[in-house]
Chains A and B, each alone.
Chain A
């Protein structure tokens, strides 16, 4: 057993923490208010190699492991959850499946622009009638000559409105049930691909969450990711991995809420002393810190499973994501309570964190779905 971060991981943590504090924190309130996709942040992060953390250097990435990705996403989300999820999606929902399942040509073509920030990545699974039930999707793609003709609508796609590269799932063979789903790499300017409704969200408001509409969209045959019928597997494998960094996003938001609560409770005085001297406040701070610590260890452990090359770590990833997201909602609640009356105004970061926190129990599989995954693994 070894709980120490490697020197690389520590260096990355220091670097990202410093960067997040000085560059991301000051603009976070503005991003939330305007809802504008934070291109400036992304450009700066591309320079630091944060857009392709887990991508090998030969494809323009930084070549770090998954624990490092978790560390970076946590530090970013600690000050700006919007930027945190954009980075997470770029790394694990778009670049990762291309790296893992793509051909050499696909990797050479698509990974470098994703790492350099020239293009941002997104992934389209969800549809209006298919959320938790991934296999319930209705999008189809049929091969005609050198092209797949893609039809369907994807909803709630993070980065969707601003991305350049999308990994999209559709049925190539409906009869085969989930074994008839395939994955495609779709470029933004493909004919027949348009953007639909932009979502007006409660939190993580600047993530360009958008509907993708495909009407006889012509995708070059060579953009099939993996083989025909491999889509469901690619999707589930990718979600296992991305739950590591979404768990890390949850830990980051919770840590950010605790940071604010500690700061506030030391500054604010009542009856002549800072309120952190009161037992009720101490009790809340202690609970929050303990919850965060446990969640972080679970996230790191899921990352460790992946880094070790463990074949199956669905349970560990689902547990980390499930636990981290539930404590995040609770930690944000406590932090808002410590702030009391002023907590609910926009002057204080905690109001934003409270809105941001709730998304964690919904995306990348709702908490209910995580529990089904965990139970399935337990009884396999």
Chain B
């Protein structure tokens, strides 16, 4: 397809990640998912390859690359293991990018710099972003910020050494080390079970004023694009599995891929996957060109995560009863896709953002 054109650097990244996936990740991806534990070793290797700090400027020991490169890496990794793709996107977008673009000099030296040494950052949020009563409220008290109380989720929380907290409305990040009065709880969730997502709870945390910084929506635009690249990876994995299985499985004396209804299931997936790819790289290009990418990022997020869910469902359907068992990865694709879809707020909220931009 000619619409997505990667430059030499991006192509290099793509080849490198593909090679890594094939040689290192592919052989153990199943095991990682079965264990449902944070895959620390793989993440260490990703750090060494510079993939955990793709967009961090070289001054802070990052790779200094663009959003397109991030998406390329996220897509390829997530195709094999969505949890790993998610961990990497969170570290790059909601931690690395947020700090490098908006952090204070102190925060950059202290925290941003450490990412390339293998330190993982987390992102904490309260899923009920439209609920003012449950927002993480911060008040200024002397030289400190006091967070009264809150609970929610921390992405990368299982291993993060510091965490950025934000509400989507209050345009402010608060950054604090994991120890600061925070109660973490492991949480069994529908999907993304190796991504180290944990529940948190706190009551009265004080952080110094130097821990806070403000940001604009660009961080979330980027995060939505990165999350979409993860979704694209899941969708492609589901599509590839379905194609392979449909050619192999025979019923009524024929491979099931010869049945028009099975073809319908798979062509729907294919159409949505190709469209999703265009959207992901179009929005990445917008972002890289410094254009206003908020509308396209939201459109992409809605469409691509829906595509991932559709592909998960249809892949299970193609597999028949086998798709419902843990012997095949397709049930995991659905669980991962659905989790991704609601992780940063429900799709209907994204739709209301789209409506606001184009109508109000």
At the interface, yes or no: B106 with Cβ under 8 Å from chain A? Answer: no
**Contacting pair A341 B190 (CB below 8 A):** no
**Contacting pair A337 B326 (CB below 8 A):** no
| Residues in B whose Cβ lies below 8 Å from that of A343 | 342
How far is it, in angstroms, between the C-alpha of A359 and the C-alpha of B324 when the chains are bound? 7
**Contacting pair A272 B338 (CB below 8 A):** no
| Residues in A whose Cβ lies below 8 Å from that of B339 | 344
Q: Which of B132, B188, B191, B313 contacts A271 (CB 8 A)?
A: B132
Give, as a whole number of angstroms, the nearest-CB distance from B223 to chain A. Answer: 15
Query: Restricting to B340-354, which residues have a CB under 8 Å from any CB of A?
Result: 342-343, 345-348, 351-352
How far is it, in angstroms, between the C-alpha of A304 and the C-alpha of B349 when the chains are bound? 43
At the interface, yes or no: B143 with Cβ under 8 Å from chain A? Answer: no
Residue of B nearest to A209 (CB): B325
| Residues in A whose Cβ lies below 8 Å from that of B130 | 270-271, 275
**Contacting pair A280 B338 (CB below 8 A):** no
Known: A344-B342, A362-B317. A371 touches B324 (CB 8 A): no
**Contacting pair B127 A341 (CB below 8 A):** yes
**Contacting pair B133 A202 (CB below 8 A):** no
Give, as a whole number of angstroms, the nearest-CB distance from B190 to chain A. Answer: 4
Q: Which of A133, A136, A337 contacts B347 (CB 8 A)?
A: A337
**Contacting pair A133 B252 (CB below 8 A):** yes
**Contacting pair A346 B189 (CB below 8 A):** yes
How far is it, in angstroms, between the C-alpha of A41 and the C-alpha of B252 when the chains are bound? 39
**Contacting pair B348 A337 (CB below 8 A):** yes
At the interface, yes or no: B327 with Cβ under 8 Å from chain A? Answer: yes
How far is it, in angstroms, between the C-alpha of A126 and the C-alpha of B325 when the chains are bound? 15
How far is it, in angstroms, between the C-alpha of A342 and the C-alpha of B189 when the chains are bound? 9
Q: Which of B313, B317, B351 contacts A366 (CB 8 A)?
A: B317
**Contacting pair B132 A201 (CB below 8 A):** no
**Contacting pair B133 A358 (CB below 8 A):** no
At the interface, yes or no: B334 with Cβ under 8 Å from chain A? Answer: yes
At the interface, yes or no: B6 with Cβ under 8 Å from chain A? Answer: no
Residue of A nearest to B317 (CB): A361
Taken residue by residue from 311 to 347, chain B's Cβ proximity to chain A (1 for < 8 Å, 0 otherwise) reads as: 0010011001101111100010011001100110111
Give, as a whole number of angstroms, the nearest-CB distance from B302 to chain A. Answer: 12
**Contacting pair A344 B313 (CB below 8 A):** no
**Contacting pair B127 A340 (CB below 8 A):** yes
**Contacting pair B342 A366 (CB below 8 A):** no
**Contacting pair B128 A344 (CB below 8 A):** no
Q: Which of B187, B325, B351 contacts A346 (CB 8 A)?
A: B187
**Contacting pair B262 A368 (CB below 8 A):** yes
At the interface, yes or no: B290 with Cβ under 8 Å from chain A? Answer: no
**Contacting pair A200 B326 (CB below 8 A):** yes
| Residues in B whose Cβ lies below 8 Å from that of A155 | 321
At the interface, yes or no: B123 with Cβ under 8 Å from chain A? Answer: no
B interface bracket (residues with beta carbon within 8 Å of A)? 35 or more
| Residues in A whose Cβ lies below 8 Å from that of B259 | 368
Known: A337-B348, A344-B339. A201 touches B324 (CB 8 A): yes
Residue of B nearest to A202 (CB): B331
At the interface, yes or no: B28 with Cβ under 8 Å from chain A? Answer: no
How far is it, in angstroms, between the C-alpha of A358 and the C-alpha of B310 when the chains are bound? 12
| Residues in B whose Cβ lies below 8 Å from that of A355 | 190, 335
Q: Which of B190, B321, B338, B342 contacts A362 (CB 8 A)?
A: B321
Give, as a whole number of angstroms, the nearest-CB distance from B249 to chain A. Answer: 9
At the interface, yes or no: B131 with Cβ under 8 Å from chain A? Answer: yes
Give, as a whole number of angstroms, the nearest-CB distance from B321 to chain A. Answer: 5
At the interface, yes or no: B7 with Cβ under 8 Å from chain A? Answer: no
**Contacting pair B190 A351 (CB below 8 A):** yes
Q: Which of A200, A271, A345, A362 contacts B320 (CB 8 A)?
A: A362
Query: Restricting to B17-68, which residues have a CB under 8 Å from any CB of A?
Result: none
At the interface, yes or no: A216 with Cβ under 8 Å from chain B? Answer: no
**Contacting pair B338 A354 (CB below 8 A):** yes
How far is it, in angstroms, between the C-alpha of A342 and the C-alpha of B342 when the chains are bound? 9
Give, as a whole number of angstroms, the nearest-CB distance from B151 to chain A. Answer: 10
Q: Which of B153, B188, B342 contacts A336 (CB 8 A)?
A: B342
**Contacting pair B187 A340 (CB below 8 A):** no
* A-B contacts, 29 listed (Cβ < 8 Å): A129-B250, A131-B320, A132-B320, A133-B252, A136-B252, A200-B325, A200-B327, A201-B324, A202-B324, A202-B326, A202-B331, A270-B128, A271-B132, A272-B132, A329-B313, A336-B338, A337-B347, A340-B342, A341-B128, A341-B152, A341-B345, A342-B128, A344-B191, A345-B187, A345-B189, A358-B324, A362-B321, A362-B323, A368-B262
Q: Which 6 interchain pairs have the tightest Cβ spacing? A: A341-B127, A270-B130, A344-B190, A202-B331, A346-B188, A200-B326
Please name 7 further chain A to chain B contacts, defined as beta carbons within 8 Å, in addition to the given A155-B321, A201-B324, A333-B309, sorted by A numbering. A133-B252, A337-B347, A346-B189, A351-B189, A358-B324, A359-B324, A366-B320
